[in-house]
Amino acid sequence: MKGTVLVVEDEALVGMELEEGLAQRGLRVPEVVTRGDQVLDAVARVEPDLILMDIRIAGGLDGIQAAEKVRQISRVPIVFLTAYNDAATVARAQAIHPEGFLVKPFSDEELTALLDNLLG
Amino acid sequence: MGDLSRYGDLFAWAPALALLLVTALLSFSRIFERNPPALGLLLLVVLWAWVEATQGFVADAGLRMLLVYLKYVVLAWIPFAWVATCLRIVGNRPWGPVLLAALGALAVAFVVLLVWDHRTGWFFSSLEFTPSGIARRTGWLHTVYMTVLFGALGAGVALLVRAGRRFSWMDGRRAKLVLAAAALPSLAGVVDLVGWMPEPRMSLVPWALFASAVLFLGAILRGRLFAPGSSAYETVVRDMADPVLVLDTTGRPVWSNEAAHRAFPSLTTGAAFDLPEIEGQVPLLRQGHEVSVRYAEREYRAKGTPAQDQRSGFEALVVVFQDVTGLKAEQTRLEALVAQRTQELVRSKEQLEAELEKSRGAQKGLERLLSEKELLLHEVNHRVKNNLQIILSLINLQTRRLAQESAAKEILAATEGRIRSINLVHELIYRTEFGAGLDFRRYLEELVKGIGALYSQVDVRVEVLPSARPVQGGVDFSVDFGLVVNELVTNAFKHGIVPAGGGLVTVALDLRGSTLVLSVRDSGKGFVPDASEGHSLGLSLVRAVLKKYRAELVVKSEGGTLVEILIPWSDA
């Protein structure tokens, strides 16, 4: 599996595990962004093939708002990572037509299936 | 004129004749209803005085005789006018009965006088019937006596008529009958006087008296036998409780009932209106308006109705008063009551609104609390899931650093499975309506599906058989239950399916009476006791949970392994 993935996750341990897991699958993870207001710059810098975006992140913008900004400059696929799966949050997220959802805690198998689907 | 001495007796009879004549006349007319008798009395007295004063100056004997005759007529009229005046007053004044009693006494005196005369032979007994008339003594005393005598007779008759009309046993026709009866003896006397009887000693007077008695009796009987006449209705109006006034075209009260006199003591019928409280309202009453009249601290509602007597053409305004003092007082009381009740209602409404507002405030507070609680629960759930993700990430990081197929890796994988079973409980509880229990069937389906996904490399089918009735439980039990299912299903895969390279795992949940039965069956080689398994963490976990819920574990080898867990169950 090849490609560049931008991970947006403010939980260090989760970000680290994702970075490692993705790398193990042959994917490039140039950096893990932890703040919403840094996402746009990172996208411009990294030009990822996929963004794994946590919804609740620090930095003034949450994951959904950051994704909206990204949508204005890029067609890169976005997958939301969230422990929130209530109807209101899902509806908000659906408004920007993401390519997928991973509900925390997600398994390796779920992540693999999603990556296969988007980058395989 | 001829020999006037012949008419001397006629003069003596004249007052009686005139009295009866006028009585009859007045009975047939309504003169007294339109003209006050007192005025008639005054005119008669004036006429009498004039005749007395004039007759001395008249030289002609015939003319003087006519004046004398006129004087007697006037003298006869005077007592009647006096009686009529009295009767008029009797009908309208509270002391009327006293006057009536006096008149009655006069009539009795007349009877006594008759008896006395009969015994002494002073007048009637001295009459001498001759072919030329009745010879008898004459003189001023005799004339006065005659006048008083027949005046009293007239008064008695009038009294009788009046009483008859008053007590409704005599209407106008019967009154005329009575008067005719009274007049008969006098007419007979006239016939005697003028000498019309063929037989000198023959007199019509006894026959007339007899006929008179019959007529009296007949009138009385008819009055009692027949229904009351129009005078009865007049009586009804006179005696009715509401004041009634009859005003003539000039607005003067010409008739009033007794209630009107009681209500307006200063009212004088026939006189100018002396009740400004009513007089001021007459124009409005004429126009048919209902007016309010205040008099002597009482309040009346008055309504006027124009009326006309067809026979005499007399036009009048009939005013009926209704005493509304009590009604007004009641109305005032009711209005006060309504005002009081309204105030009470307003107070009650205000109290209710205040309580409602308080209740709304409390409800808003509760809603806010509930909202906060839901938000908090949401946040806690997010935290739990996030933390579980962190733990899983930690395990994954650790797992990747271990050698392939190592025992530690297997342990971490089992731990991950247990953590996922716990996470699933939180996930489902989070999605379930607040306060409701967890649906075990759904939990089982998702749990077994998750475990099955871990063993995707083997050909496996997982079936979850539905229970007969819904089974629900709390979070604590669900976590324990999930751990047990995780262990049993994982075990079925590990020891039943994987070694066989494929197969079927069937998980069933059933309520049998008061026992919840969870069964996990695999299509493997069957249960093979393994000494090392007795000390495994998975089995220890299962035992701990079984002990906690006093549940039983049954293991059977039936074309594979069947593990049943029997948990004492109560829906409550």
pLDDT tier, B209 (very low <50, low <70, confident <90, very high otherwise): low
**Mind listing the pLDDT tens digit for each residue in A54-87?**
998 888 899 999 999 999 999 999 999 988 777 7
Closest CA–CA distance from residue B383 to any residue of chain A (Å): 8
In chain B, the residue whose alpha carbon lies closest to the alpha carbon of A108 is B396
B261, B238 in Cβ contact below 8 A?
A: no
Pairing type for strands B459-465 and A78-82 reads unpaired
Which of chain B's residues have a Cβ under 8 Å away from the Cβ of A83? 381-382, 385-386, 389
The shortest CB-CB distance from A14 to any of B390, B416, B419 is to: B390
* CA distances (Å), origin B482, targets B265, B451, B503, B549: 108, 11, 23, 14
3-state secondary structure of B302: strand
B162, B83 in Cβ contact below 8 A?
A: no
pLDDT tier, A40 (very low <50, low <70, confident <90, very high otherwise): very high
Interface of B with A (CB under 8 A): 378, 381-382, 385-386, 388-394, 396-397, 400, 416, 419-420, 423, 427, 430-431, 450, 453-454, 456
Both structure tokens of B388: 């579980």
Which of chain A's residues have a Cβ under 8 Å away from the Cβ of B385? 83, 103-105
The shortest CB-CB distance from A83 to any of B385, B397, B431 is to: B385
A18, A32 in Cβ contact below 8 A?
A: yes
Which of chain A's residues have a Cβ under 8 Å away from the Cβ of B393? 11, 13-14, 16-18
Q: How far is the C-alpha of B521 from the C-alpha of B165, rounded, in Å?
A: 123
Closest CA–CA distance from residue A83 to any residue of chain B (Å): 5
The answer to whether the CB atoms of B386 and A104 lie below 8 A apart is: yes
**Mind listing the pLDDT tens digit for each residue in B222-231?**
544 333 444 5
The pLDDT of residue B139 is above 60: no
Q: How far is the C-alpha of B542 from the C-alpha of B421, rounded, in Å?
A: 14
pLDDT tier, B233 (very low <50, low <70, confident <90, very high otherwise): low
Residue B40 CA neighbour count, 13 Å, CB half: 23
B266, B295 in Cβ contact below 8 A?
A: no
Pairing type for strands B459-465 and B502-512 reads parallel
3-state secondary structure of B386: helix
Both structure tokens of B17: 């004749």
Dihedral sign from CA coordinates of B163, B166, B171, B176: positive
Whole-angstrom distance between the N-terminal and C-terminal Cα of chain B?
Answer: 140
The answer to whether the CB atoms of A104 and B389 lie below 8 A apart is: yes
ipTM above 0.95 for this complex: no
Both structure tokens of B513: 């009476």
The answer to whether the CB atoms of B456 and A109 lie below 8 A apart is: yes
Residue ranges of alpha helices (H) inside B93-139 are 96-120
B480, B515 in Cβ contact below 8 A?
A: no
Interface test with A, best of B381, B382, B449 (most A CBs within 10 A): B382
Q: How far is the C-alpha of B452 from the C-alpha of B460, rounded, in Å?
A: 8
**Mind listing the pLDDT tens digit for each residue in B455-482?**
766 666 666 676 656 677 777 788 888 8
In chain A, the residue whose alpha carbon lies closest to the alpha carbon of B384 is A83
Q: Which residue has the tokens 């604590």?
A: B476
Q: Which residue has the tokens 């209710």?
A: B352
pTM for the whole structure:
0.46
Q: Given this model, what pLDDT does residue B337 score?
A: 94
Both structure tokens of B277: 């409280």
Q: How far is the C-alpha of A20 from the C-alpha of B24, rounded, in Å?
A: 146
pLDDT tier, B415 (very low <50, low <70, confident <90, very high otherwise): confident
Mean pLDDT of B88-100: 54
B474, B438 in Cβ contact below 8 A?
A: yes
Residue B13 CA neighbour count, 13 Å, CB half: 24
Q: Kindly list the strands in the beta sheet with B315-323, ordered across the sheet, starting from the edge strand earlier in the chain.
A: B253-256, B244-247, B315-323, B298-308, B290-295
Q: How far is the C-alpha of B170 from the C-alpha of B64, rounded, in Å?
A: 43
Q: How far is the C-alpha of B165 from the C-alpha of B172, rounded, in Å?
A: 8
* Average pLDDT of the residues of chain B: 71
**Contact map slice: A 54-73 vs B, CB within 8 A:** 56
Interface test with B, best of A9, A54, A104 (most B CBs within 10 A): A104
Interface size between A and B, measured as CB pairs under 8 A: 61
Q: Given this model, what pLDDT does residue A83 score?
A: 80
The shortest CB-CB distance from A109 to any of B423, B430, B453 is to: B453
The shortest CB-CB distance from A16 to any of B397, B416, B453 is to: B397
pLDDT tier, B6 (very low <50, low <70, confident <90, very high otherwise): very low
